[in-house]
Amino acid sequence: MVGRIPVMDVKPLVDFGRQPAKATVGEPFPVSATIFREGHDKLGAEVVLIAPDGTRRPPVRMVTDPHVPDRLSAWVTPDAEGAWTFEIQAWSDPLSTWQHDAGIKIPAGIDVELMFTEGRLLLERVSAGLESTPEQKLVAGAIDAAADTDRPVGARLAALQDPELEEVLHANPLRDLLSTEGPFKVYADRARALYGSWYEFFPRSEGAEVDPETGKVTSGTLRTAARRLDAVAEMGFDVVYLPPIHPIGEVNRKGPNNTLTPGPDDPGSPWAIGSRHGGHDAIHPDLGTFDDFDAFVARAGELGLEVALDLALQCAPDHPWATEHPEWFTTRADGSIAYAENPPKKYQDIYPLNFDNDPKGLSREILRVVKLWMKHGVRIFRVDNPHTKPVAFWEWLLAEVRRTDPDVVFLAEAFTRPAMMRALGAVGFQQSYTYFTWRNARGEIEDYLRELAHETDHLMRPNFFVNTPDILHAYLQYGGPAAFKIRATLAATSSPSWGVYAGFELFEHVAVKPGSEEYLDSEKYQIRVRDWEGAAAEGRTLAPYLRRLNEVRRQHPALQLLRNITIHSSDDDNILVYSKQARLPDGETDLVIVVINLDPHSTRETMVHLDLPALGMDWHDSFLVNDAFTGETWTWGQHNYVRLDPGHEPAHLLSVRRPR
């Protein structure tokens, strides 16, 4: 039933409360509700967080939304991992009601002594519940003033409207007609579920060698790939993500550039998993053994890197499951197993799984595979195309893993309809790929950042990859080196998690054909040998810039959060302006302002306009800003001139020194 003080439309709420809303240890999240009552009396409300062990955290007072009638909100912060809940407590606030009425009636000479008497009685109730001597003395003084008819009426009222007294009364409200709604579910994940810089590379390409006489390429191994980890760590990345490392199918194997005519030495696509050498629980023999993989994970750990492994639930035609469990696939009318299709695309080298014939058996086998890799140190899985599997399966699998290993993180690679992407987040995926790659104009970027930070934040956490082996956007194909800087800066500063696929730092930008987002000589189908050292020696690498971006991300907690973004404005449609801020443990505020020229071809100069009240400042305030890229310092205020040359630095990344 509705409480005596109605509390309705509570947020965050996922799937009618059946699933927990997303939270992260140390990240504030908003709780809001529509709260009202009959008549004109005032009310108050608080949010109470309840920890996984049942401990109730101190209540946080809700404040009224100035733009939405009867809408109240508060920000709360979980401080431990696990399953939290929150309650909303609402009450009739006789003190606020009296303060409002007294401020009108007493100056007007209406019921003066009656108002003072009612005020005194309320203050006596407050005093009875106080333990602090200074607070008691302050309230006692107000009680005396209310009762002292020898004082002027104005002086008595002023004593009861004293700001210090109002602070005490706000902190110690009288909760009449208390109504409680909840508990509502929230799950707080570890920080890596929210924040991290990802780097993707194919182990078979790292340390690969080309025979100068025959041109034959010898695959790299997990041992040679481990040598690349130092460079990844040097660039400041936190997670190294490996595409599938399992045996690759030999039947219907794809050749270079997705052709159907592979040569005898073509390695095939790592996503065509399974052969006579094994399936999802095996390692490609060219890459090495489980001992080699364990050594790779150990070396990554020494460098402060976590290893994320691709979980691609699909099979090559010669995967052991195809013969041992044909019921796990779709059989066509002619008796053949259906291969994957996304018309007009055909993937003859891949059999998709069918969860309808033996859902329990298939699900248990996948859980076994996941736990096998977990035992070898994998705590992050990037899941390939989860939207092509039943949502109910993911709900079960993620719950099973969370039950025993709540630190394991799953990233959903689902470039699909919003409803499916949000559903995958709702049932437990900790992170999600997004439409970021296809958001390039200022207006669509602004709208998308608002959506992710303020509308879907309780469902899904974004990971902004600037490129992938499948996606080379036209912006990078034709924007030149400046485009790579622009997209990296935007991804690294607007999302707490972002990612880079190897070759981005070398400005790889050639598509297989006009209008395509596929790379020419895609690494999905062949080994790519890169000259990292030569590029660095000749200055043909973006690695130092990526390192600086990741340094700044680590220096600024504001850039490690999702829900804290504010969009500002400029007079140029190609100049994007936003800020992020976070309250530090010492009470100070970390504030970063980002200004980006989205035009990779032209210098832009214009005025940018900051919403200073949203940054906790007055409209007339001025303050110092320091650019993380150039080291320059300027004095800024509400309106500021900028000139951004993409050939030099296409963005300002400004840390703010607040006025005191």
CA 43, 49, 51: angle at the middle one, nearest 5? 160
Question: Is 206 known to be catalytic?
Answer: no
Residue 491's alpha-carbon distances to 155, 230, 494, in angstroms, are 58, 23, 6
Question: Is 605 known to be catalytic?
Answer: no
Can you name the residues that pair with 627 across neighbouring β-strands? 654
DSSP SS3 for 55: coil
Encoded tokens for 534: 């030569």
- Tell me how far apart the 2 most distant CA atoms of the chain are, in Å: 109
Catalytic residue among 93, 306, 310, 384: 384
Q: How far apart are CA 123 and CA 382, in angstroms?
A: 59
Q: Which amino acid is at 91?
A: W
Q: How far apart are CA 502 and CA 482, in angstroms?
A: 18
Encoded tokens for 20: 């927990």
Asked if 526 contacts 268 with a C-beta cutoff of 8 angstroms, the reply is no
Report phi then psi at 141, rounded to 5: -65, -40
The alpha carbon of 63 is separated from its chain's Cα centroid by a whole number of angstroms, namely 26
Q: How far apart are CA 105 and CA 107, in angstroms?
A: 6
Annotate 55-85 with b (16+ C-beta within 10 A) or e (fewer). Answer: eebebbebeeeeeeeebbbbbbbbeebeebb
CA 63, 68, 69: angle at the middle one, nearest 5? 80
Encoded tokens for 153: 């009426």
Asked if 452 contacts 433 with a C-beta cutoff of 8 angstroms, the reply is no
Report the run of H or E that residue 644 belongs to, with start and end: strand 639-644
Catalytic residue among 46, 238, 292, 413: 413
Encoded tokens for 476: 């990078």
Nearest to 642 by CA among 591, 587, 596: 596
Can you name the residues that pair with 605 across neighbouring β-strands? 643
Encoded tokens for 195: 């924040």
Q: How far apart are CA 590 and CA 577, in angstroms?
A: 17
Burial bucket for residue 255 (CB in 10 Å: 0-12, 13-18, 19+) = middle
Concatenated DSSP letters for 593-630? EEEEE--TTS-EEEEEE--GGGGT--TT--EEEEETTT
Cα within 13 Å of Cα(542), Cβ side: 23
Concatenated DSSP letters for 403-418? HH-TT-EEEEE--S-H
Q: How far apart are CA 653 and CA 339, in angstroms?
A: 48
Annotate 125-154 with b (16+ C-beta within 10 A) or e (fewer). Answer: ebbeebeeeebbebbeebbebbeeeeeeee
Which residues form the catalytic set?
A: 384, 413
